[in-house]
Every structure is written in structure tokens, then in C-alpha cells.
Chain A
Amino acid sequence: MSPRAAWRLQSLGFTEVYDYAAGKADWLAWGLPREGTSAGIPTVGDLARRDVPTCALGEKLGAVRERTRAAGWEECVVTTDRRIILGLLRGQDLDADPDATAEEMMRPGPTTYKPDTAAAEAGRRMRERGVRALLVATPDGALVGLLRREDADRAGEAAS
């Protein structure tokens, strides 16, 4: 939509036109300020824990496990060096052969939510599906953080 708008402005005589193609979703993914009627309603991007550990495909599971648990986590997100999500390692995955690689043990293609999804709505869906945590990603697949259901539930309780 915005590329067409940018070209239309150019056709109308605007000489310096830019397209922030990543758009509102990217802006919100970074927790930047917003205005509007829903500005006070927490989103999954607001509540996602951004310090969730990450690792690369080729890292040995033993080292990943040590680093992840030392940081107090039971999840580690497998990403590229640009934080594009490739897979997820959960508790029991971390306990596998320490010489295995993250790539061998990860759960590929984990479900992600957009950062501007209302946290209360995400919490409801998580309860329905029995999900305790989910990943939040930008439209181009970059990791924003991990949302815990209890955080989403708190947002839902505060809103009701």
C-alpha cells in the first residue's frame, strides 16, 4: 500500500518522497510510542521479554544449555545473525546430547505473533491452545521477544 502512495505523491509533484515500508508493525515491534484509541492497550510487543536467549544453528547444545539456564531460561531461540527466527529449543530439547547442534534439535518454524496483537487477545488464544509461551516477531521474521501467558493474562485482567 505505501509504495503506491509514495508513487502517487511523486506524481502529484512532491519531490522528496520516502516509503517507510516496514511500517507501523516495525515501529511497534521496537516498543516506540504510538497514538490513537488503542495506544493504552498493551500489545504482545509491549510485553514480550526481549532478553530471551538466542543461539546460532551450528552451536553445540551443551554450550547453549549452559548459557540459557545460567540466564534463568528454559527456552532458546535459534536465529540467524540478523535475528531471523529459524527454530526454538525448549527444556527437554536442551537436555539432549550436548554434542548435537542447535539445528539438529530445534523445533523448526515456531508460530509467531505480530507485535501489535493485543496482549489480552493473545492470552485468550494461548489458553485455548494450551500454549504457555509464544514468540513475537517483526513482519520480516526477526525476533522481538518471548511472551509468557501469565504476562498476557495479567494484561487481560487489567483490561477487564
Chain B
Amino acid sequence: MPRNISRDELQGLLGHGAQLVDVLPAEEYADSHLPSASSIPLKVLDATTTAGLRKDAPVVVYCHDLQ
């Protein structure tokens, strides 16, 4: 099951090849996003839009905040 991680854990995972996905709307991604993040908004997240992600490597998702 998905696990919540902290900022420190995120930085550690990114150093080990994790894939980072911003699930905010595309315009918010365009405005600002974390370095190396790709954009797959939640509303279009499906098998097609995630086809470019590796299933054998960690994936980290994020949005704006806890809400």
C-alpha cells in the first residue's frame, strides 16, 4: 500500500532513482514544480498517461499540501 514520506525521505528516494510525479492541474505544474517532477494531473491519471513510468522503480506523488 502507498506510504506517506517526509521531505527527507523524498530527497533520499530521489537520490536512488525514484520517479517524481506532480498530480496537480497542468497549469499549477507549469507555474512551479519540484525539480525533475513530471506532470500527470490526477484527473487524467490512468494506464495511458502513466505508460512512461517504470513499474519496477519507486514512484512518489505529490500535490500542493496536506489538504
A120 to chain B, nearest CB (A): 15
Interface residues on A, range: 35 or more
Pick the residue among B2, B29, B66, B67 that contacts A18 (CB under 8 A): B2
Quick one: given A35-B35, A36-B29, A36-B31, are A23 and B62 in contact (CB under 8 Å)? Answer: yes
B67 adjacent to A139 (CB under 8 Å): yes
B2 adjacent to A19 (CB under 8 Å): yes
Stretch at the interface among A3-11, A85-93, A101-109, A152-160: A3-11
Q: Which of chain A's residues 1-42 have a Cβ closer than 8 Å to chain B?
A: 1-10, 12-28, 30, 32-39
Interface of B is mostly: loop
A19 adjacent to B61 (CB under 8 Å): yes
Q: Which of chain B's residues 28-64 have a Cβ closer than 8 Å to chain A?
A: 29-35, 37, 40, 42, 45-47, 50, 53, 55-64
Q: Which residues of B contact A (CB under 8 A)?
A: 1-7, 9-10, 13, 18, 21-24, 29-35, 37, 40, 42, 45-47, 50, 53, 55-67
**A8-B42, A24-B22, A24-B62 provided; 17 other pairs, C-beta below 8 A?**
A4-B42, A6-B61, A9-B50, A14-B50, A14-B55, A18-B13, A18-B58, A19-B2, A19-B3, A19-B61, A20-B10, A22-B7, A23-B66, A25-B64, A32-B7, A34-B33, A39-B32
What are 30 pairs between A and B in contact, CB < 8 Å?
Answer: A1-B42, A1-B63, A1-B64, A2-B62, A5-B21, A6-B61, A9-B21, A9-B45, A10-B2, A12-B47, A14-B50, A17-B3, A17-B60, A18-B58, A18-B61, A19-B3, A19-B60, A22-B66, A23-B64, A24-B24, A24-B62, A26-B65, A27-B34, A30-B7, A32-B34, A35-B35, A36-B33, A37-B30, A38-B32, A39-B32
